[in-house]
Amino acid sequence: MHEETTTKEKILKKVRKALIQQSTSATNIDFDSDIYQKAEEPLEIIFAQQLTKLNGKFIYCENEKELGENISLLIEENKWDNVFCFEKKAKDILKKSKINFSENEKEIRHLNVGVSLCESLAARTGSVFVTSKQLSGRRLPAFANYHIVIAYSSQLVYTIKESLSAIKKKDGSNLPSMIVNISGPSRTADIEKTLVQGAHGPKEIYVFLVDE
């Protein structure tokens, strides 16, 4: 009995010592340093790889003319109708490419394809950031069966932290009431453990990245 108690005390002593050492070192943690290694490849490639892993579609465009042509071809090939777009810059691109769309928010219940801009792209996770300050609002990115995102190379950063910092820098203290991180199409496995895409949002997401 005495030997068992002695062994137990030795173990507890080691545990206490380890905890004391851990708590001492924890005070010197640098919370501001980046925990991820720097990107070794171009951010465009990293983003494309990560988005594709998440079943998203990536299309690179050299300029806005090519962007309009690619969006037009995508819509035509899939025979999509009920295309909606609310943001001026995106609407101008669609108009130049003679792509029919609606900007009537009262008809949004018919929404099938949503075309929107974004605030930022995080390459490491293949994430697209949209906010409530965009004219697309809260509904278009969530209600569309197919979400087409128009992004620019200047919006591409490496981490989610950098994406959030970019939004904060742009809006200052007047932050959006909603910031959404979109990582691939909507999906769930809640029903019978079967993975279903498009259960709570778009079944497909297309990111068109325009070089600047």
User: In the CATH scheme, what is the homologous superfamily, with its name and number, of domain 41-210?
Assistant: NagB/RpiA/CoA transferase-like (3.40.50.10420)
200, 188 Cβ separation under 8 angstroms? yes
The average pLDDT across 183-193 equals 57
Distance CA 63, CA 59 (A): 12
82, 112 Cβ separation under 8 angstroms? yes
pLDDT surpasses 60 at 32: no
Q: How many Cβ atoms are within 10 Å of 28's Cβ, its own excluded?
A: 6
Q: Which of 46-55, 128-137, 142-151, 154-163 has the lowest mean pLDDT?
A: 128-137
pLDDT value of residue 194: 42
Amino acid letter, 74:
L
pLDDT value of residue 24: 47
Q: Which of 7-21, 62-76, 160-174 has the lowest mean pLDDT?
A: 7-21
